[in-house]
Amino acid sequence: MSKQDGDTLLVLFEALANPHRLKIISILFVERQYVSQLAREAEMSRPLLYMHLQKLEKAGLVKSEMELSTDGKAMKYYELVAFDFTITPALIKDAAETITIKKKEGK
C-alpha cells in the first residue's frame, strides 16, 4: 500500500471490523456463492447481506458478477478477491499523513 492510500486503508479496516463481514469472507473463502445461498449460509436477510457486501466490495475484498441460470434467471454471484497485506507501524504512519479528515458542519 502506497503513501497516498490512507483513506483506502481506513475503508479496509472498516470492512474488516465487523463479525458479519468476517463470516461472509470465511464463507466465500470456500467457494463463490449466489446471493440467496450466501444469505442462508450467513444466516441474515438479503438486504442486510447486501449492505455488508457493499462495504466488502468498496474495500476490494469481494467482487460480484451477474450470470444467467439454465432456466434464464439472473443470479448475482459473489467471490472473494485474493488479498494479503501486512500492517506495520510505518505503513500506518505514512497512511495517516494522507487521510482526509472531514470536519463537521458548524465547526
Q: Please name every residue paired with 75 in a beta bridge, in sequence order, or none if there are none.
A: 67
d(Cα 49, Cα 106) in Å, to the nearest integer?
35
Running DSSP on this structure, what letter comes out for residue 41?
H
Helices (H) and strands (E) in the chain, counts: 5, 3
- In order of their start, the domains of the chain are 6-94 (1.10.10.10)
Which tens digits make up the pLDDT trace of 56-75?
999 999 999 999 988 989 99
pLDDT of residue 2: 45
d(Cα 77, Cα 22) in Å, to the nearest integer?
18
Question: For the residues 7-17, what does the mean pLDDT come to?
Answer: 93
More confident residue, 2 or 7: 7
pLDDT of residue 106: 62
